[in-house]
Amino acid sequence: MNSITIPGLSKPVTTLIQGSDYFRPSIYEKVCSVLDRFLAIGGNTIDTAHIYCGGESELAIGQWMKDRNNREDVVILTKGAHHDQNGPRVNPEAIAKDLFDSLERLGTDYIDLYALHRDDPNVPVSVIMDALNEHIAAGRIKAIGGSNWTVERLEEANEYAAANGLVGFTFSSPNLSLAKAKEPFWAGCVSIDANDCEWHEKYQLPILSWSSQARGFFTGRFTPEDQSNEDLVRVFYSDDNWERLRRAEQLAKEKGVSTIQIALAYVLNQPFPTCALIGAQNEEELISCYEGSKIVLTKEELRWLEHVDISVR
């Protein structure tokens, strides 16, 4: 499987990252089946978060790593400092609490890739970067990133880190997909646009994209008339995205692959390092993603797929 390098890590990060927002100890056999097969096809990076399944996702992954005795073979991406019912909690105390919780659940003394699950623009980047760097210095974190941080805040944070001899963010985890979001999935979520992509190309900061396949928009199961999935309608139903779907279908036929594999290839063929978080739950879905990750798209094909503007026709 293809991989990228992220500063701070000695291990490569595979371009497919297995998601775990459905992992629980109660379905441990399924967790093992998915993760064992993911490693068998060459994957090594697993995405989780402090809040996933109320912490059970990290517990299940920790049990699997203990049973397989393979901690050094995998890359763990976990996230913390998500808001709660009281509001934002991107602060040193919340970061420390969530990090120590995650370390205990996962049964490890370090996290390879640690991302702040949300941002709070009211908190100065100096406070956040100082806190994260204390954990890096203590060996609890190898590399840091922002999940759902704007490029403006990422740049501000990294400028502060560079000016003060600190470790900066070496990856970002927003939503990047061929279908362009009309509005955030959830409060505080970030989907990047063309200008953001230009920034990432300029700085070559890797993106680890969540909802990289637009939550099933490219599976062929949905049509403009089908209003059954309220979130998909709210976020992705637009004339431009239906045209992108049509073009992805056309290109898929030309290449002899599936439409959703073209959507995945779009994410993985950007002019900067990218990985795609996938939610595969069985071998068929894993193999589909693996084959999609091998598709090469030209700059012209990328531009044709994404640069759609129905309004000017």
Give the per-residue pLDDT at 303: 95
The two structure tokens encoding residue 260: 């959703």
Give the per-residue pLDDT at 308: 78
The two structure tokens encoding residue 36: 């064992």
Give the per-residue pLDDT at 312: 43
Q: Name beta bridge partners: 276.
A: 16, 209
CA atoms within 13 A on the CB side of 32: 12
Give the per-residue pLDDT at 187: 87
Determine contact, residues 131/92, Cβ cutoff 8 Å: yes
Q: Is 143 helix (H, G, I), strand (E, B) or coil?
A: strand
Give the per-residue pLDDT at 310: 54
DSSP letter at 210?
B
Please give the average pLDDT of every successive group of 10 residues along the chain, which has 313 residues.
97 98 98 98 98 98 98 98 96 98 98 98 98 98 98 98 98 97 92 96 98 93 94 96 97 98 98 97 96 97 87 46
